A and B are shown apart, each in its own frame.
Chain A
């Protein structure tokens, strides 16, 4: 679960990590009001989940109230990489002397957390990591003995900080670590950590992604988080909606074929085979290994309603998933939807005979062979 910057910053503040003064605004009027309270100049920042926001024009510094109106309305209307901002974060404009970088995430191959820091923060951090790797320091946290407070100071010194800066940055690192551990994060990232003229340090940006599989033990923090009602109809909304329905993977592309699968591996194989057969994918939903008839029906509805979908291929080869239950879900969808794209079903695996019988009785064509199902899907004309 990826959090918006304003949500991540409320969690940061609870853990004692300094952030700029800021207010959330959903309209131009609210933006003007917020800028007045904070005091000009302010930074206007689009609240979106996708990366590369700054380069896409989602962050602007403004000096006058008139500019607040024009910039706010522009950003609110802009699709940043096909994602409409859900709101604006209006923040005080700080005088930053130096930008640092810090993140905590998992090193999967080594199976331990890793801290990453650099004295060259800012938008170029990835190219710096590639071209001048010595300027980006990584530090693995061994589960035995685990994390100690000195690690923050050690990391500060390793990126070349000295004296008081070592303690100030070290404290931020230690608190980011606390956020990472206590909230089961996959990623905590601050880019940049702004160093002010008086030596104070502030988390100018905040990225926080929580582990979806740990959300059951993060209820408190999720309930306390500020939310902005989102009624958009864009990709971000559809993706969020899919997640709420319990569809683990929801991906949109440019074509006109929908694909549902009950496993990531066969799902990707199906996409590859459709690609090889000259078909183009519009939407791909992977449902995982614990699919109920209800989830089957909801996922079909979601895929069919992604827009511009001509045909949906349901690609099933179940182990845990029972094909009789999957067939039941498909029938429910067919009976409940009036106008809909054509459906092609590939069905094999646990209880396949029963599943196929149910489909046949309801007049739904089905295939045992994946290649034949793919060909039939690509052959469907609009």
Chain B
């Protein structure tokens, strides 16, 4: 098994005819992902990389029955595309676009949780279950099959860590990029819930960053009650404090969000912490053996 996607997943690509969408669709198909349909309004009836293109998500769903979607629609239009996919009952939507307006991101994410769909992102690298399915933009050569689940805010940091694990003989069950924030649909907590029940996953590597709130949420969830070893790495230890934005930010955050604070919370939750990806293989060896 793996979580969220595997060899049986049927993928829809929204924005399949754009430069990035078309190129990444080719790479996903080459990897073995079963891409059943694409959507680009106005290009229905065409084909991209051998995949039939539809004008609307509803038509694509009716004809090809996808169960997951990856959305390459650019930021200004991404909210509309994601809501269209939610309306068509797709339960996992990967929102790749980097520049989704904040108000739009909040709108689509609130709607997704109301309707029980997972939205990964926005500004995410997607997810990959190595050897089975890739729904994202990862450089897949760095990944390998195995027992470690990885969940990361940053796509690049998940590649870095997967590369390190692969080199040391630790393959991965599913690797998930949550996206750049400052708001997220799918979070560490959701990933931990799914990894908990997954037979293939023996340990979870959680890659966090300074700022935001989802690492704290994850530590709270793990506290004293998680059946698998978790290794956490929080980057940004040496970063200078962010530029201050008025008093409002300080009033709401109450000084939370530093790397030190997050690491402390993970330690209190019984999570092993690493200072960089290099330390993770040895910790896994220790944790999985014990």
B212 touches A108 (CB 8 A): yes
A317 touches B159 (CB 8 A): yes
* A248-266 residues at the B interface, CB under 8 angstroms: 251, 253, 261-266
Q: Which residues of A contact B276 (CB under 8 A)?
A: 269, 272-273, 276
B246 touches A189 (CB 8 A): yes
B159 touches A213 (CB 8 A): no
User: Digit string of A108-139 for contact with B (CB within 8 Å is 1, else 0)?
Assistant: 11011010100000000110011000001010
* B223-244 residues at the A interface, CB under 8 angstroms: 235-240, 243-244
* A180-201 residues at the B interface, CB under 8 angstroms: 181, 184, 186-187, 189, 191
A272 touches B182 (CB 8 A): no
- Give 8 A-B contacts (CB < 8 Å), ordered by A residue: A116-B251, A126-B250, A187-B248, A214-B104, A265-B158, A272-B235, A276-B275, A276-B276
Q: Which of B20, B107, B235 contacts A268 (CB 8 A)?
A: B235
B98 touches A266 (CB 8 A): no
User: Digit string of A195-237 for contact with B (CB within 8 Å is 1, else 0)?
Assistant: 0000000000001010111101100000000000000000000
Knowing A269-B160, A352-B139, say if A214 contacts B102 (CB, 8 Å). yes
Expressed in whole angstroms, the Cα–Cα distance for A125 and B98 within the complex equals 35
In the assembled complex, A271 has its CB within 8 A of some CB on chain B: yes
Q: Which of A51, A138, A207 contacts B252 (CB 8 A)?
A: A138
Q: Which residues of A contact B123 (CB under 8 A)?
A: 289
In the assembled complex, B42 has its CB within 8 A of some CB on chain A: no
Q: Which of B109, B137, B142 contacts A320 (CB 8 A)?
A: B137
In the assembled complex, B153 has its CB within 8 A of some CB on chain A: yes
In the assembled complex, B209 has its CB within 8 A of some CB on chain A: yes
A contact residues vs B (CB 8 Å cutoff): 2, 50-52, 101, 103-109, 111-112, 114, 116, 125-126, 129-130, 136, 138, 143, 181, 184, 186-187, 189, 191, 207, 209, 211-214, 216-217, 251, 253, 261-269, 271-276, 281, 288-290, 317-320, 348-350, 352, 370-371
Expressed in whole angstroms, the Cα–Cα distance for A269 and B157 within the complex equals 8
A207 touches B246 (CB 8 A): yes
* B31-53 residues at the A interface, CB under 8 angstroms: none
Expressed in whole angstroms, the Cα–Cα distance for A371 and B276 within the complex equals 10
In the assembled complex, B288 has its CB within 8 A of some CB on chain A: no
Closest 5 CB pairs of A and B: A265-B154, A263-B156, A265-B157, A275-B238, A214-B101
Find the B residue at minimum CB distance from A319: B137
In the assembled complex, B277 has its CB within 8 A of some CB on chain A: yes
Q: Which residues of A contact B76 (CB under 8 A)?
A: 216-217
Expressed in whole angstroms, the Cα–Cα distance for A191 and B248 within the complex equals 10
CB A330 to nearest CB in B, in angstroms, measures 18
In the assembled complex, B281 has its CB within 8 A of some CB on chain A: no
A264 touches B154 (CB 8 A): yes
B248 touches A211 (CB 8 A): no
A116 touches B248 (CB 8 A): yes
Q: Which residues of B contact A349 (CB under 8 A)?
A: 139, 142, 159
User: Digit string of B170-204 for contact with A (CB within 8 Å is 1, else 0)?
Assistant: 00000000001111000000000000000000000
Knowing A108-B182, A186-B102, A319-B137, say if A371 contacts B278 (CB, 8 Å). yes
CB B88 to nearest CB in A, in angstroms, measures 22
Expressed in whole angstroms, the Cα–Cα distance for A126 and B245 within the complex equals 12
Knowing A109-B213, A112-B106, A348-B142, say if A266 contacts B157 (CB, 8 Å). yes
Q: Which of B75, B96, B163, B209 contacts A264 (CB 8 A)?
A: B209
A266 touches B139 (CB 8 A): no
In the assembled complex, B247 has its CB within 8 A of some CB on chain A: yes
Expressed in whole angstroms, the Cα–Cα distance for A214 and B76 within the complex equals 8
In the assembled complex, B70 has its CB within 8 A of some CB on chain A: no
Q: Which residues of A contact B237 (CB under 8 A)?
A: 272, 275
A268 touches B236 (CB 8 A): yes
CB B91 to nearest CB in A, in angstroms, measures 19
B238 touches A289 (CB 8 A): no
Most buried by B among A108, A126, A281: A108
A319 touches B159 (CB 8 A): yes
B101 touches A211 (CB 8 A): yes
Knowing A214-B102, A319-B139, say if A209 contacts B207 (CB, 8 Å). no
B252 touches A105 (CB 8 A): yes
Q: Which residues of B contact A281 (CB under 8 A)?
A: 238
Can you name 7 extra interface pairs (CB under 8 A) apart from A51-B247, A108-B213, A319-B138?
A129-B251, A189-B247, A211-B103, A213-B101, A272-B275, A281-B238, A317-B156
Q: Which of B102, B207, B212, B213 contacts A265 (CB 8 A)?
A: B207
A271 touches B139 (CB 8 A): no
Expressed in whole angstroms, the Cα–Cα distance for A52 and B156 within the complex equals 35
